Each structure stands twice: as structure tokens, then as C-alpha cells.
Structure 1
């Protein structure tokens, strides 16, 4: 199999679609974060889904940015770097969630409980959790600011689905309203971002697939009409 730029970008589109679907799926019937949950199989499954979401989404936005470097300009670069940093930090915290927290839940229940507390918007730790608090906060800022800036850049570039780009930016802004709407399940605010990733990923895959189909049609036409090649 020949690896081409177009194939890699199409693969990034698929990664974004799968990442978005995982992000939506993990929100469905998500239980309350507490110490008892960490030791369950459900926790491991959901955390693994979150790890895959962040990794696949990072690959997806990388393909989106590389496809339209010139069109997105400086805003696209800044938005991509901020959002990519957010996903990388989220990836690290989710990996620790699936690998480290279950291993120390029995010996350090207070620490695990505090880490779970700061993972919820507006939550606060009672004890000292070291750099886990700032790490979670910086990851959140990268996710929100990066989503807003990158979404605007994609919208202005006019290459991928503009509704999905607008939804990515709007989803980031909407997340800021979580502290103001405590009566609303905060996990619902993740759905717009998931849908945006699916839409952008599909748009990227389809946009890269079209030139390949046109090239194949042209090649077949040349074979069937040798006179056209002279």
C-alpha cells in the first residue's frame, strides 16, 4: 500500500469522526464521579474511551490543520497549538485516570477523591493533590480557548463544513456557562463538540476522497478513449 498525503488526511478525518462519537458515547448515562466508581469495570471502559477520544481527536485536528495551513493563517496555527496542547494534557490526565487512580484508590482514598473532585467543573480539592489541579485547569483552558480559536479559523477558511466549525467554536463558548447552570447536567455541554468533530472529520474525509475519485474517473476515461490522450 502506498502512503500518500491524501490518504493520511483521510485517515485523520476518520479519526476525528471516531473520536467525536466516543466523546458523545462516553457522556451517556455517565455515573457520578466517586471513589467507589474508580474500582469498577465501567470506570476502566469509560476512561479507555476518553483516552481514545483525546488521541484520535488530536490526530483529527492535526489533519484538519495541515489540510488548510495557508487558508487558516496565524489564527489557525494559534488555535491548533492551543487545542492540541489541551488534548495532550487531557490525554495525560485520562491515562492517569485509567492506570494510576484504581491502583492507589485503596491506599490513598483522599487523594483520589480530590482528583475526582477537580475533574468536575467547579469542583475543589480538600487536600493537596500537587500539580494535578493546575494540570486539569490548563487542560480545560486549552480545550475551551483552542476550540474557540480553531473553530473560527476553520469557519473562515471555507474548506470544511462551516456549520461544524461554527459548532466547535460555539461548543467551547457554551461550556463557560456550566457554572451558571448548575441545574443542567454538565455532560450535555460536551455533545456539541463531539458532533462538531464528527462533522469536521466527515467533511475532511469526503473532501479528500473527491479528488481521488475524479482522478480515477479521468484515468479510466483516458484508457477507454486513447484518441483523447494524443
Structure 2
């Protein structure tokens, strides 16, 4: 199998589709985050899928940006960099959650509960140190980057514009979560997940190998009397 820019870009599209499906899938029947849940096998599986989702998302948005780098302009570049930083920080947060928190849940469950409270839009009762900054940085870059990148994709007019609008709108809508405490926060992941699926499919579909066309021009010229001269 030869590695070509087209093959890499199509792979990025499939990565975005997979990331969108995972982003939605891990939200389904997600238990309440607390120290007790952090000690279970289900927590480890869900955290591992979140790490995979973040990595696939980063591959996907990189392929989207490179595919339309000229049309995206400065706004597209800024959006990509901020959104990419959001996924990088998200990856670090999820890795910490998968590797460190199961152990801390046995020794310092109050700290784990406070970190989870902040991560889900609540408030910590104690000091969680730099995890507070890391969570804020993750939210700011992910949501801000999703908004800017979505606008950049919409203006570029290369990938599915409805998905670009959904990405930007979904990012903005997530900011309303603190004002809607009665709404399950995990529902806000659905628009962004669907947007990633739509954008990834659009990227993959736009690079499908064109079907072979009959060489009508060559055949007709060969049969034309002038072709014998």
C-alpha cells in the first residue's frame, strides 16, 4: 500500500468519524463521576476510549485543515491551533484521569471528587492545585477552538457547511450548561460529535477515487478518417 497525501487525508476523515462516534458513545449511560466510580473497570475503559477519541480528533482536524489550508486563511489557522491545543490538553487530562485517579481514589478520595466536580461544571470544596488551571484551559481552548474552527470551515466552503455550523453552534451552546443545571451536561457532546462525523465523512467522501471514464476522445480520434492521415 502506497502512502499518498490523498490516502492520509482520507484516513484523517475516517479518524474524525470514529472520534465523533466515540465522543457520543462514551456519554451513553455514563455513571456519575466520583471516587468510587474511579476504582471500577468501567471507568478505566471509558477513560481509555476518551483518550483514543481525543487522539483521533486531533488527527481528523489536522487533515481537515491541511486539505483546505489556502481557503481557511488566518481565521482557519487560528481556529485549528486553538482547537488542536484543546484536544492536546484534553488528552493530558484524560490520561491523568485514567492512570492517576484510580490510585488517588483509594488514598485521597476527597481530592478526586473535587477534581470531578470542577470537570463537570461544579465547584471544589478543597484545593485541587493546578488541576483547576488545566481544566479551565481545556474548556477554554476546546470550546473556543471549536467555535473558531467551525467558522473557519464554514467560510472555506470546502467541507460540509452544515457540519461546520453545528460544530461552532455546539461549542457555544456548551457555555450555557452552568445556566441549565437541570439539563444533563453530556447531552451537549452530541452536536459536536455529530459535527465531527459530518466533517469527517465530507472529507473522506470528497477524496474518493473518481470512477474510470471511457476515453471517448481517444477512441473517436482513432476511428475518425483524419486519424489515418
TM-score normalized with structure 2 length: 0.93
Q: Tell me if the contact between 1:60 and 1:201 (Cα under 8 Å) persists in the aligned partners.
A: yes
Return the alpha-carbon distance in structure 2 between the equivalents of residues 175 and 194 of structure 1: 13
* Count of aligned residue pairs for this structure pair: 223
- For 2:210, the equivalent position in structure 1 comes to 213
Write the distance in 1 (CA, Å) between the matches of 2:221 and 2:2: 28
Q: Which one is further off, 1-10 or 111-120?
A: 111-120
> What is the CA distance between 1:101 and its match in structure 2?
0.5
What is the alpha-carbon distance in structure 2 between the residues aligned to residue 170 and residue 228 of structure 1? 55
Are 1:47 and 2:47 matched, yes or no? yes
2: CA distance, partners of 1:3 / 1:183 = 49
Structure 2 unaligned spans of 5+: none
The equivalent residue for 1:24 is 24
Q: Give the corresponding residue for 1:135.
A: 134
Does the alignment pair 1:35 with 2:74? no
Offset of 1:128 from its aligned partner? 2.0
Is 1:160 equivalent to 2:156 in the alignment?
no
SS in 2 for 1:27: coil
Indicate yes or no: 2:176 matched with 1:177.
yes
1:124 corresponds in structure 2 to 123
**Which runs of 5 or more structure 1 residues have no equivalent in the other structure?**
none
TM-score of the aligned structures, taking structure 1 as reference length: 0.92
Equivalent pair of 1:222/1:228 in contact (CA under 8 Å): no
How does 1:99-118 map onto structure 2 within 5 Å? Answer: 99-118=99-118
Residue 85 (structure 2) aligns with: 85
- 1:86–1:142 CA contact under 8 A, matched in 2: yes
1:80-112 CA-to-partner distances (Å, cap 9, x unmatched) read 000000000000000111111002211121221
Following TM superposition, the consecutive aligned residue runs of length 4 or more in structure 1 with deviations greater than 2 angstroms are 225-230
Aligned to 1:196: 195
